[in-house]
Amino acid sequence: MLSAIIGLGALGCIFGAMLSLASKKFHVQLDPREEALIGALPGTNCGACGFPGCQGMAKAVLKGEAPTNSCTAGGAEVTQRVSAIMGVEAVIKEKEIAVIMCKGGRKEAKDRFRYAGIHDCKAASMIAGGAKSCGYGCLGLATCETVCPYDAIKMDGNALPVVDEKKCTGCGICAANCPKFLIKMIREPNQIHIRCNSLDKGAVTRKNCSVGCIVCKKCEKACPVGAITIRDNLAVIDPFKCDNCRKCVASCPTDTIENYYSGEPRFASLIEKQLDESQSNAAA
């Protein structure tokens, strides 16, 4: 028994020595900047940069496989920190905000059938494209809310997602997970949005949704800088041409175009209501 114990002890010492030698021989010197980069990143591991978490991005930046402004979630502040660590000039990306290009909730859009399956847009879209009569519309089952790592999207009482622009980092995860591709990442300075995703002809859209784009072209004619064009039965704003003049908002007969400036009427019918109230007050 004693000899067996001694033998096992000797083997343990031998294997220990071998492991010690191996660790020294195969030791890989870590770049001290890697730890600094990981500390500079948000640590949310959202994957919006295209790499497996913040550590994955840090390694990619060190290898020259990713630019220092890859972290969309961290914005300008993180870009500056990462660039300083790498000793390069910071190239700041313009911030983008998620915009829901659909405002046809339960009140405005019709359903073709009653869906009673999994409460998830992706699952619902697999059943004949979803319950909505508009095949391009929001299904209202909160997939975007669920996947948002920054708690920037909440569903309202009309089964439509609402984006908190202050919390939104522009990571794009919600857009990537929307089965209807109706969430667009728009430059933060742009505050006028055509909130429709339908490519149906105007008459069909009007039948399915009371706030959809009917391709009347009034917004296109009203735009003084040529920022709005009609593409595939849908009015589209060029974000680089648009100067936020708001003239298209007032011209839209279906309230599809919305003004995101706080404190101002959101859409055409509200503008008309405000005008009527001011005229009534003036007359009084």
Same-domain check for residues 195 and 177: no
Same-domain check for residues 202 and 275: yes
Task: Give 164's DSSP letter.
Answer: -
Same-domain check for residues 60 and 134: no
Same-domain check for residues 129 and 174: yes
Helix (H) or strand (E) holding 238: none
Answer whether residue 9 is part of any domain: no
Answer whether residue 219 is part of any domain: yes
Handedness of CA 84, 88, 94, 95 (dihedral sign): negative
Answer whether residue 22 is part of any domain: no
54 touches 43 (CB < 8 A): yes
CATH number at residue 39: 1.10.15
What is residue 46's predicted lDDT score, i.e. its pLDDT? 87
What is residue 44's predicted lDDT score, i.e. its pLDDT? 86
Same-domain check for residues 117 and 158: yes
Same-domain check for residues 161 and 184: yes
Same-domain check for residues 165 and 112: yes
pTM for this prediction: 0.81
Using the 3D structure, point to which of 188, 204, 225 is the last residue of a domain.
Answer: 188
Whole-number Å distance between alpha carbons of 132 and 184: 20
Q: Which amino acid is at 194?
A: I
Q: Which amino acid is at 219?
A: C
100: its two tokens: 């829901």
Same-domain check for residues 175 and 215: no
Answer whether residue 91 is part of any domain: no
Using the 3D structure, point to which of 188, 205, 220 is the last residue of a domain.
Answer: 188
CATH number at residue 234: 3.30.70.20
The low-confidence residues of the chain, meaning pLDDT below 50, are none
What is residue 48's predicted lDDT score, i.e. its pLDDT? 87
What is residue 30's predicted lDDT score, i.e. its pLDDT? 66
The SS3 assignment for 276 reads helix
Q: Which amino acid is at 266?
A: R
Using the 3D structure, point to which of 188, 217, 247 is the last residue of a domain.
Answer: 188
What is residue 10's predicted lDDT score, i.e. its pLDDT? 60
Domain count, the chain: 3
Give me the residue label for tokens 């009609």: 230
Same-domain check for residues 162 and 126: yes
Q: Which amino acid is at 171?
A: C
Answer whether residue 12 is part of any domain: no
Answer whether residue 242 is part of any domain: yes
Answer whether residue 100 is part of any domain: yes
Answer whether residue 150 is part of any domain: yes
Q: State how beta strands 234-237 and 228-231 pair.
A: antiparallel
Residue 70: which domain range?
35-86
Same-domain check for residues 227 and 251: yes
Helix orientation angle between 32-40 and 75-86, rounded to the nearest 10 degrees:
170
Same-domain check for residues 264 and 196: yes
Nearest residue to 132 via CA among 197, 213, 201: 197
Nearest residue to 202 via CA among 190, 213, 211, 193: 213
Same-domain check for residues 179 and 212: no
What is residue 172's predicted lDDT score, i.e. its pLDDT? 93
